[in-house]
Amino acid sequence: MSLLSIFGSAILPVVAMAALGYVLGRAKDVEVDPLNTTVVYVLAPALVFHSVATTDLSGATLAGIAAGVTAFTVVMTVLAEGVGRLAGVREPILSALVLVSVFSNSGNYGIPLSAFAFGPTGRDTAVIFLTVQGVLVYTVGVYIAARSGSDDWTEGLKRVFAVPLVYAVAAALAGRELGVLPPAGSTLMETVGMLGNASIPLMLIILGIELARTDYGATLRTVGTATVLKMAVAPVVAVGILAAGAAAGAGLENRTVARVFVLEASTPSAVTPLILLIEFGDSTPVDGVTVSEFASTVVLVTTLVSLPAMTVLISLLQSGVG
């Protein structure tokens, strides 16, 4: 498949829906909070539950994805922290650098991208990646965001138990194990599937609206290190984790799942770190740049860089590299 074909089939649909959100955000004063609440508390849990409940992925594969995401998060955190300190980055920007370098936009960018590029298996893998990362971002991520700001970071840790994604996964796994889930073609499961599918375009529209509202200004000159870490180093780390797992006899046997793991880890910076930094971080500017300005600019730059980067990466992955 040519790069143009890959862009048209996998990247363009994602860009088009996000662009609609961007135009909407520029033209209208859209309230994002209700849309985001709908996704977090209704649509995304439905997507997660349906994907885990109906996936053909084995329990061992699901555990392998979870282990891989955890390992990826640990390695990228250590690398980003080390690079930031060597580069002389000061708090609170250092915490922001770590967060935007580690956590991928595996949800409203990665899920549709993986689905368009690798079909149902791609979507299921992306959903599991998102779920594990969601637990980590509301634990490890909250700690990193809060270490230079508010001392009340423990309140953020409690959020992991208030996010329905966790319970949706637990319910689906328990149902699979006990054999009590309704058939995949039943009315109940099809209804849940419809709700879950609605989350994909809405997440992309929300992403576009958020990008339309970001004030970038002079922060563009400060985001080079984070961009390189997220878009160049992260894919290498993901491939290294897969290789280490395979060498240890604990690799992901399903090659499509392994390739989607690399793709998800390579997506641009997530918006969630921005939310955590605003709530828990130190808002004191460093050289005239606040953590929120820094993080939002990294989201934009990595998203733009990802358009050609993801096209090339998908081409390599589909051709059997990785």
φ/ψ of 93, rounded to 5, equals: -65, -30
Question: Nearest 5°: phi and psi at 104?
Answer: -90, 155
List of long-range contacts for 239-242, beta carbons under 8 Å, 24+ apart: 239/322, 240/75, 241/68, 241/71, 241/72, 241/75, 242/68, 242/322
Query: Alpha-carbon distance 213 to 221, whole Å?
Result: 19
* DSSP codes joined into one string, 129-149: HHHHHHHHHTTHHHHHHHTTS
Q: Distance between CA atoms of 119 and 135, rounded to whole angstroms? A: 25
**CA 183 – CA 190 distance, rounded (Å):** 9
The pLDDT of residue 131 is 83
Type of residue found at 78: V
Question: Which has more confidence, 298 or 247?
Answer: 298
State residue 27's pLDDT score: 94
CATH topology for the 31-203+225-307 domain: Na+/H+ antiporter like fold (1.20.1530)
Contacts of 101 (CB under 8 A, 6+ apart): 76, 79, 80, 226, 229, 230, 233, 234, 269
Query: pLDDT digit string (tens) for 216-235?
Result: 665 666 788 999 999 999 99
DSSP H helix total and E strand total for the chain:
16, 0
Region 65-82: mean pLDDT is 95
In the chain, % of residues over pLDDT 90: 34
Least confident of 19-28, 31-40, 61-70, 189-198: 31-40
Judge if pTM exceeds 0.85: no
